[in-house]
Amino acid sequence: SDLYIADEIFVCGTAAEVGSVSSVDDRKVPCPGPMTKAIAATYAKAVRGQDDRYKHWCELVK
């Protein structure tokens, strides 16, 4: 399975946003890795309307 050879593993969702996975079965995975950190930072800015590239994803609720 790809999980056993992955350099990094993360999960994402609306409430959890981006979270790193530290192990699969008994195999340790670097946590969080550089790609996971980059994706998490971009996602956080995007969903908060702080990145102009993704502002069209957001709708202001008052």
pLDDT at residue 38 in the model: 97
- The reported pLDDT for the residue numbered 19 is 93
pLDDT computed for residue 25 by the predictor: 93
Instruction: Give the residue numbers spanning the domain of 37.
Output: 2-57
Residue 62: inside a domain: no
Instruction: Indicate the number of domains in the chain.
Output: 1
User: Among 17, 24, 43, 16, which residue's Cα sits nearest to residue 8?
Assistant: 24
Per-residue confidence (pLDDT) for residue 54, from 0 to 100: 92
pLDDT, tens digit, 9 for 90 and up, residues 8-50: 999 999 888 999 999 999 999 888 999 999 999 999 999 999 9
The reply to whether 40 falls in a domain is: yes
What is the model's pLDDT at position 31?
87
User: Is residue 29, in this structure, part of any structural domain at all?
Assistant: yes
> Does some domain include residue 25?
yes
Confidence grade of residue 1 (pLDDT, cut at 50, 70, 90): confident
Residue 43 lies in a domain: yes
Asked if the structure places residue 20 within a domain, the reply is yes
